[in-house]
Amino acid sequence: MNLFVDAFAWMFAPERWTGNYALPKLLGEHLVLTGVSVLIAVLIAVPLGWLIGHTGKGREIAVAVSGAARAIPAFGLMVLLVLLLGVLRVPEAAITTFVLLAIPSLLAGAYTGLEAIDRRVLDAAKAMGMTGWQVFWKVEVPLGLPLLVGGLRSALLQVIATVTIAAYIGLGGLGFPIIQGIPLQRFDQVLAGAIMVALLALIVDLILAMAQHAAVPHGLRTSSATKRRAAEPVAPEAATA
């Protein structure tokens, strides 16, 4: 218990909030690395996932590639890219690593969101005279959005956790207290860094959980609520009333 007290004391010490390694600065670096990496991954994975889900082609290749990408150790890949690209391209090596880490979840969320749509809904949209492009944008994308947001949620959490290793190659972030504290045996500092990363992940997860709920079309939310009410057992008093 004393270690947790020491960790929070280290975190809120005045010297942690000023200077080159101030906690707000490290948080900003962590968020920038995460945001840039996930944005690039979104631009790559979401159009590709939508194409796979819309056409029904290439799913096996996407699954194989996603599985292979998940199996690659992020730290080893980052070090390898630093060695290949050189020390002058350390940010590019780190961002490439985080992009590859984020792509599988985003890709899966994009194409499974479209695949999960009832085909009868799409047939009804076509029967109403919608073009293929209108069916995609007005039916498939809105109905597939909750699973896509779920993929984004998973990708962000993975990248937030993994960006901590960026401090190992001098890019800062909330991993810096951890990387610095381990050789110094400053376990209060290490725990403080871990707590900050965990809190950031929990906050982001909460925000995206609400976004995922909000992404469900109103008609589907109403339909689900109606089905739940219909499935609820009727109280004996109500049944005999």
- Asked, for residue 213, whether it belongs to a domain, the answer is yes
Residue 97, pLDDT score = 94
Residue 238, pLDDT score = 47
Tell whether the model's pLDDT for residue 24 goes beyond 70: yes
Stretch 95-101: mean pLDDT, rounded?
94
CATH of the domain at 127: 1.10.3720.10
- Asked, for residue 177, whether it belongs to a domain, the answer is yes
Q: What is the pLDDT of residues 144-160, one digit of tens each?
A: 999 999 999 999 999 99
- Asked, for residue 11, whether it belongs to a domain, the answer is no
Residue 118, pLDDT score = 85
Please give the tally of structural domains in the chain: 1
Residue 221, pLDDT score = 63
Stretch 29-46: mean pLDDT, rounded?
96
Residue 210, pLDDT score = 94
- Asked, for residue 14, whether it belongs to a domain, the answer is no
Tell whether the model's pLDDT for residue 39 goes beyond 90: yes
When pLDDT is cut at 50, 70 and 90, the band that residue 188 belongs to is very high
Residue 239, pLDDT score = 44
- Asked, for residue 147, whether it belongs to a domain, the answer is yes
CA distance 166 to 207: 24
- Asked, for residue 87, whether it belongs to a domain, the answer is yes
φ, ψ for residue 67 (rounded to 5)? -65, -40
Stretch 83-87: mean pLDDT, rounded?
85
The domain in which residue 56 lies consists of: 23-240
**pLDDT above 70: percentage of residues in the chain:** 90
- Asked, for residue 2, whether it belongs to a domain, the answer is no
When pLDDT is cut at 50, 70 and 90, the band that residue 1 belongs to is low
Tell me the whole-structure pTM to 2 decimals. Answer: 0.86
Tell whether the model's pLDDT for residue 215 goes beyond 90: no
CA distance 208 to 123: 31
CA distance 150 to 57: 22
CA distance 114 to 118: 9
- Asked, for residue 17, whether it belongs to a domain, the answer is no
When pLDDT is cut at 50, 70 and 90, the band that residue 233 belongs to is low
Give the distance, in angstroms, between the CA of residue 130 and the centroid of all CA atoms in the same chain.
33
